[in-house]
């Protein structure tokens, strides 16, 4: 089988899966991804941010030893680091891997810790994108907490995607959940909320690039405020958003 044929086959499989699971919920999507041999070895990537606990809880219910990758950019809020440890312990997550850029690489490229102000894309690349890419090496795909309502770039998000450039499958179990679905799920299951949410941070990233959101603003308005930047870059390949149908 040629590479082109292989890619075409995987695209078709993702399309078939999205059609097959069109009327299914997040739990069914997640269970299929984690238990079907065709998906290979998957890891979950979580920021342990404002909405992360819902998917982490689902993963804990379906397969508690799923590898969970947490990127410590070394610029996170202290509250996020504490919350990460508390949630992992409470949910009984057995395989959380904390990943970060090496001290040598940060010293070389961002010695003063100010890159986020002059070149936020490069900062995200150094502290998040490259770190995650290295950590995902050896995995066949990854599970994300992205949802359609979060931004315009995610409006057509499907449950299953294929990243042609990396050859990995991306699974988005909560793609069709609304903000209300998330809140209801968290309340029904009595899941702990990130402490910064109550302080006006409905979307939480690195401390220097996250600000409070006023009433009536888009929940992600506090991320990279005043810039055109909407994504940290981990859902881009070669500078382009990867989503179903992009390269068709």
Strands (E), the chain: 42-45, 68-71, 96-99, 141-143, 160-163, 168-171, 236-237, 240-241
64-70 mean pLDDT:
97
CA distances from 193 to 58, 155, 175, 196 (A): 15, 25, 20, 8
The fraction of the chain above a pLDDT of 70, given in percent, is 86
Residue at 142 is within a domain: yes
For 38, other C-beta atoms within 10 Å of its C-beta total 10
Residue 92: phi and psi, rounded to 5, are 70, 30
Token pair for 132: 């995650």
For 208-218, what is each residue's pLDDT tens digit? 999 999 988 88
Q: What is the pLDDT of residue 240?
A: 40
Residue at 18 is within a domain: yes
Among 75-79, 173-177, 230-234, 243-247, which is the least confidently predicted range? 243-247
25-49 mean pLDDT:
94
Q: What is the pLDDT of residue 155?
A: 67
Q: Are strands 141-143 and 68-71 parallel, antiparallel or unpaired?
A: unpaired
For 206, other C-beta atoms within 10 Å of its C-beta total 22
- Going by pLDDT thresholds of 50, 70 and 90, the confidence category of residue 152 is low
Give me the number of domains the chain comprises. 1
Assign residue 59 the CATH number of its domain. 3.40.50.620
Residue at 203 is within a domain: yes
Token pair for 92: 């009984």
Residue at 246 is within a domain: no
Residue at 164 is within a domain: yes
Token pair for 126: 């150094």
Q: Are 102 and 73 in contact (CB under 8 A)?
A: no
Residue at 68 is within a domain: yes
The fraction of the chain above a pLDDT of 90, given in percent, is 67
Q: Which of 174, 196, 171 is nearest to 33 (CA)?
A: 171
Among 67-76, 102-111, 134-143, 219-228, which is the least confidently predicted range? 219-228
Looking at every residue in the chain, the average pLDDT score rounds to 87
> Residue 123 sits in which domain range?
3-241
For 156-206, what is each residue's pLDDT tens digit? 789 999 888 888 999 999 999 988 999 999 999 999 999 999 999 999 999
How far, in Å, CA of 88 to CA of 146, rounded?
Answer: 20
Concerning whether 232 is annotated as a catalytic residue, the answer is: yes
Token pair for 203: 């979307």
Residue at 247 is within a domain: no
Q: What is the pLDDT of residue 238?
A: 40
């Amino acid at each position: 089988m040629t590479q082109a044929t292989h890619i075409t086959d995987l695209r078709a499989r993702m399309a078939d899966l999205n059609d097959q699971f069109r009327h299914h919920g997040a739990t069914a999507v997640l269970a299929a991804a984690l238990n079907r041999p065709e998906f290979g070895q998957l890891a979950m990537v979580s920021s342990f941010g404002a909405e992360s606990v819902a998917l982490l809880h689902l993963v804990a219910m379906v397969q508690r030893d799923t590898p969970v990758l947490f990127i410590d950019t070394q610029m996170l809020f202290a509250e996020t680091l504490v919350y990460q440890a508390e949630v992992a312990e409470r949910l009984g997550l057995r395989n959380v891997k904390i990943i970060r850029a090496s001290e040598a690489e940060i010293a070389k490229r961002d010695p003063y810790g100010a890159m986020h102000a002059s070149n936020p894309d490069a900062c995200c690349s150094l502290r998040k994108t490259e770190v995650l890419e290295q950590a995902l090496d050896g995995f066949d795909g990854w599970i994300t907490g992205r949802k359609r309502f979060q931004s315009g770039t995610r409006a057509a998000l499907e449950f299953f995607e294929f990243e042609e450039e990396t050859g990995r499958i991306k699974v988005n179990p909560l793609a069709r959940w609304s903000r209300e679905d998330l809140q209801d799920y968290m309340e029904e299951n009595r899941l702990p909320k990130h402490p910064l949410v109550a302080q006006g941070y409905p979307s939480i990233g690195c401390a220097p690039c996250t600000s409070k959101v006023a009433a009536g603003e888009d929940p992600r308005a506090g991320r990279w405020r005043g810039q055109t930047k909407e994504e940290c870059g981990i859902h881009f390949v070669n500078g382009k958003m990867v989503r179903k149908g992009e390269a068709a």
